[in-house]
Chains A and B, each alone.
Chain A
Amino acid sequence: QSVLTQPPSVSGAPGQRVTISCTGSSSNIGAGYDVHWYQQVPGTAPKLLIYGNINRPSGVPDRFSGSKSGTSASLAITGLQFEDEANYYCQSYDTNLSGLVFGGGTKLTVL
């Protein structure tokens, strides 16, 4: 059970918009620690998608965007494409655990 809670799955049709939430608490996101997002296509290594809550590394399409408010963060994907099918993980730091933490992951299915 992770201290960062994500929905197990989300889905959407090509071209649609989906959001993935990452809910934390006052010991992690609410304490001001940044949230970062990773994309993992099954069978491959994770890839950095969003860092510092809202920033996209070079090469990541602007269809991906991040936001943070209070004790939660969100990843939004617009203009869904079949290639976006993957597992998505949020990550931050937790003061109670004194360590880096990941959300449980969200499987995105493009219908």
Chain B
Amino acid sequence: QVQLVESGGGVAQPGKSLRLSCGASGFIFSNYGMNWVRQAPGKGLEWVAIIYYDGNNKYYADSVKGRFTISKDNSKNTLYLQMDDLRAEDTAVYYCATWSGGYPRGYFQSWGQGTLVTVSS
């Protein structure tokens, strides 16, 4: 069965960086596009970024464009999110999720359990 395990969350100061990882198993990782979706405390879901199955195409939400970078290592079955110039409003639980179907008409099929990122001085 599909398993997605996020890691790398924690506390970071404004302006600093953090890198999240998502280890995948139970499916052919190299065949799937992947996403990061976040949820601020007590708030709804917000899509952050998507990367195609081969890593060649990436799209970002306007709120993180230019600061966050999504990548995937198909040899390690791992998805990453490099978060730079962090802001207080980036505080959230970050979920990785598999993408099913073409972009942008597909959907988030399987989700990890999430990792909490807190940006505070």
Contacts and interface: CB of A to CB of B under 8 A. Distances in A.
B100 to A, nearest CB: 7
Contacts, number: 62
A38 B97 CA distance: 12
B45 A33 contact: no
Interface residues of B, number: 23
A51 B111 CA distance: 15
Nearest to A87: B44
A76 to B, nearest CB: 19
Contacts of B62: 97, 99
Main secondary structure of the interface of A (DSSP, over half): strand
Given A99-B60, A100-B104, 15 more contacts: A36-B107, A36-B108, A38-B45, A38-B108, A44-B113, A45-B95, A48-B109, A48-B110, A51-B109, A91-B47, A99-B59, A99-B61, A100-B35, A102-B45, A104-B44
For the complex of A and B, the 4 pairs showing the least CB-CB separation, nearest first, are: A93-B104, A36-B107, A100-B47, A105-B44
